[in-house]
Amino acid sequence: MKFYSTNKNSEPVDFMQATILGQAPDKGLYFPEAIPQLEKGFLQKIENLPDEEIAFNVIRPYVGNEIPEEKLFRIVSETINFPIPLVPVNEFAFSLELFHGPTLAFKDVGARFMSRCLGYFLRDQEKKVTVLVATSGDTGGAVANGFYDTKGVEVVILYPSGKVSPVQEKQLTTLGKNIHALEVKGTFDDCQHMVKSAFTDAEINKKRFLTSANSINVARWLPQQFYYFFAYRQWQDKKNAPVVSVPSGNFGNICAGILAQQSGLPIRHFIAACNVNDIVSEYLGTEILKPKQAVPTLSNAMDVGNPSNFIRILEIFQHHFPELKSHLSSSCVSDEETLATIKEVYQGYNYLLDPHGAVGYLALKRYLENHLGEKGIFLETAHPVKFPEAVEKATGETVELPASLAELMQKEKKSVLIDNDFDQLKSFLLQ
């Protein structure tokens, strides 16, 4: 399998090169030259397959011969060694719980897979690699956990000061060793812009071998297909494919789901569940993609004003707008509606949502109200305990802290505060 740049001005590369480089030299994102199709009979036997075998069969065509099959199977097994259950909330909505991993967020899957792939590719390298990543919340903790103490890898994480939850901040600032946290006086988009600038800076790249662990990296993005397959395996009504609602910020997660659908996975329709950062919603109405300054919300991991991965969705549909609109719709949810939804679902169905899951649930509910008889899945992307203020405000009850987090919250935060200034990032990287 070869991967080309979405900007079309760089040479195609294999999976190993795409993983190590992160972003193409022409600043485009890597995209597979062909979308693999599921093997005949795969879906008919999926209910009897273990998670490891499902994931291995999904990712193998993308990896090709870059990792031996035995090693790739082990990487996949270590990536998904926690449950990903599909839980009924009511008669029309099912929650795909993606928060049972080590950092209680969906990004554990991609971060664990990428860290193990990169570790394999760098096994004989003497030169250290610097993983440079921007986070709006959960990516930082997942990447920090996934790469912690990995030989030959330094991790530098940029996050917006005051705009991540207390649990999220502790998860990315308390590990130490090879994990370095930069607290930026700005937004996630500012952090992401600084990271992209670093990748194209000749002086930095002369001293450091940079790669990215954001979902722009194929090794972070592609394994997110796994849990859509796990959801389908647990879906009882195989004759009627589900509608899937995905809380969307940088659009890597929903893009992976659409890729799985285009590979042959039965999904009726996708909903991009957004907060008030409504760039893609406006695009679907106007066919004009216009980045904006991100607005802080309760669903902070979705506070993105310039979603990098949307270009990959356009590539999937070959930039054909009518085809894209037939597969994807969008719904925007305010903070007030988010809180009301958490309260409604908790009181009505005894199910506790986090703010991102609440956005996903309400977007699904709205869609199904206009498509009677259909049922759907929404992605619950993080544990409610990561957003205690919002959840407690909505329900009036304290969210119990898991034992694993109680110890974490007592640890000392270690971060370097910097301005929204690329020169300060550059100075840090050149030290």
**Residues catalogued as catalytic:** 107
Task: Give the strand pairing for 3-5 and 30-32.
Answer: antiparallel
- In angstroms, the CA 274 to CA 47 distance is 32
Q: What is the dihedral of CA 338, 342, 344, 350, to 10 degrees?
A: 160
d(CA 420, CA 6): 28
The number of angstroms, rounded, from the C-alpha of 346 to the middle of its chain's C-alpha atoms is 26
How are strands ordered across the β-sheet holding 179-185?
209-212, 129-134, 153-160, 179-185, 416-419
Q: What tokens were used for 238?
A: 């195989």
**What DSSP string runs through 383-413?**
-GGGSHHHHHHHHSSPPPPPHHHHHHTTSPP
Residue type at position 33 = E
Cα atoms found within 13 Å of the Cα of residue 314, Cβ hemisphere only: 15
Q: For 110, phi and psi rounded to 5 degrees?
A: -65, -40
Distance, CA of 163 to CA of 379 (rounded, Å): 22
In one letter, which amino acid is 160? Answer: P
What is the rounded distance in angstroms from the CA atom of residue 213 to the CA atom of residue 208? 15
Pairing relationship of beta strands 269-274 and 328-332 according to DSSP bridges: parallel
Q: Which two tokens stand for residue 266?
A: 């039965």
Q: What share of the chain is helix, strand, coil (3-state, %, to 5)?
A: 45, 15, 40
DSSP H or E segment with residue 124: none
Strand 376-380 with 416-419, pairing: unpaired
